[in-house]
């Protein structure tokens, strides 16, 4: 009897350890599976209110990283294909000297897209915040999200958890460096955002007055010098 009593806490400990190990694996699989059905080839994507291009690293000279360049290229192609009348670029512009969104807008304007059709979300500091603000600030209801596939599944999952009719467009136009690192980091991010969407549901860093994406994108042009207090 004493041996059985001694082994019982060990079994409970092993069970708890297995749960601890398996939970992130299961949640990662769940997020990927739930979103994958909405990631479609360009010709299969339905028409939407807006194409949402998510930000990525901008180099010190202001030029776009390979990932960001490919995201905005795919966004432009979808716009040209008539998938949406507006493009919403969302990224980090929390500091005056770091600006993902104007880099994307400049590219789109250089391709001939009218400024009124390009909206900038200067406070898209995370994927969750970009989706939340797309819904509450820009009043998007049906959206095509553009980013690399490793990131796209989480983005689509978050958007749909927040009530958006979201579809994904893969922006993998080349092979990128450090892809293994991104994939591993994404497992933790999917777990984190699962709980953000299902349990905590925090507001983004900034909200502010609505700027519906059905209007004029020039309303989102830089309105103030201090982007650390941006209110878009």
The pLDDT value given to residue 59: 95
Task: Give just the sign of the alpha carbon dihedral 94, 96, 97, 102.
Answer: positive
For residues 119 and 89, is the Cβ–Cβ distance under 8 A?
Answer: yes
Domain that holds residue 86: 45-220
The pLDDT value given to residue 93: 93
For residues 155 and 127, is the Cβ–Cβ distance under 8 A?
Answer: yes
The pLDDT value given to residue 168: 98
What CA–CA distance (Å, rounded) separates 4 from 114?
75
The pLDDT value given to residue 136: 98
The pLDDT value given to residue 139: 98
Domain for residue 12, yes or no? no
For residues 123 and 204, is the Cβ–Cβ distance under 8 A?
Answer: yes
What CA–CA distance (Å, rounded) separates 19 from 66?
39
> What are the average pLDDT values for consecutive 10-residue runs of the chain, which has 232 residues?
60 75 94 98 98 97 96 98 98 92 97 98 97 98 98 98 98 95 96 97 95 97 49 33
3-class SS of residue 78:
helix
DSSP summary character for residue 152 = H
For residues 119 and 88, is the Cβ–Cβ distance under 8 A?
Answer: yes
Domain for residue 6, yes or no? no
Instruction: Specify the number of domains making up the chain.
Output: 1
Domain for residue 17, yes or no? no
The pLDDT value given to residue 227: 37
Domain for residue 36, yes or no? no
What CA–CA distance (Å, rounded) separates 76 from 214?
18
Domain for residue 60, yes or no? yes
Task: Give just the sign of the alpha carbon dihedral 116, 58, 185, 200.
Answer: negative
* Biggest alpha carbon–alpha carbon distance for the chain: 81
Whole-structure pTM over 0.85, yes or no?
A: yes
Domain for residue 97, yes or no? yes
Domain for residue 18, yes or no? no
Domain for residue 16, yes or no? no
The pLDDT value given to residue 94: 86
Which CATH number fits the domain that encloses residue 186? 3.40.50
What CA–CA distance (Å, rounded) separates 71 from 91?
12
């Amino acid at each position: 009897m004493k041996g059985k009593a001694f082994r019982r806490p060990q079994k409970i400990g092993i069970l708890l350890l297995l749960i601890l190990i398996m939970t992130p694996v299961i949640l990662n699989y769940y997020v990927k599976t739930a979103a994958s059905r909405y990631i479609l080839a360009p010709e299969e994507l339905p028409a939407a209110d807006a194409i949402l291009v998510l930000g990525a690293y901008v180099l010190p000279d202001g030029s776009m990283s390979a990932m960001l360049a490919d995201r905005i290229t795919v966004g432009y192609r979808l716009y040209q294909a008539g998938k949406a009348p507006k493009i919403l670029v969302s990224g980090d512009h929390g500091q005056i000297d770091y600006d993902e969104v104007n880099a994307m807008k400049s590219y789109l304007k250089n391709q001939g897209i009218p400024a009124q059709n390009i909206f900038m979300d200067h406070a898209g500091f995370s994927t969750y915040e970009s989706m939340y603000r797309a819904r509450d600030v820009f009043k998007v209801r049906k959206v095509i999200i553009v980013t690399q596939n490793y990131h796209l599944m989480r983005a689509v999952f978050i958007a749909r958890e927040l009530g958006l009719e979201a579809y994904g467009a893969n922006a993998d136009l080349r092979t990128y460096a450090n892809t293994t690192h991104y994939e591993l980091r994404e497992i933790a991010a999917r777990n984190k955002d699962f709980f953000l969407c299902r349990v905590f549901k925090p507001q983004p860093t900034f909200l502010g007055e609505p700027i519906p994406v059905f209007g004029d994108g020039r309303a989102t042009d830089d309105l103030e010098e201090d982007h650390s207090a941006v209110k878009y």
